[in-house]
Amino acid sequence: MKVLWALCVLFGVIGFVEGIFGVVGATSAPQQAAGAAMGVAWAVIPYCIVRAIQQMRPQEVVIKKEQ
Q: What is the mean pLDDT of the chain?
A: 89
The pLDDT score that the predictor gives to residue 67 is 67
> Closest Cα partner for 22 from 37, 8, 11?
37
Q: List, for residues 6-19, the tens digit of each pLDDT value.
A: 999 999 999 999 99
The pLDDT score that the predictor gives to residue 18 is 92
Positive or negative torsion for Cα 5, 7, 11, 12: positive
- In the predicted model, is pLDDT for residue 28 greater than 90? yes
- In the predicted model, is pLDDT for residue 50 greater than 70? yes
Residue 29 confidence class, pLDDT cut points 50, 70, 90: very high
> How far is 22 from 29, CA to CA, in rounded Å?
11
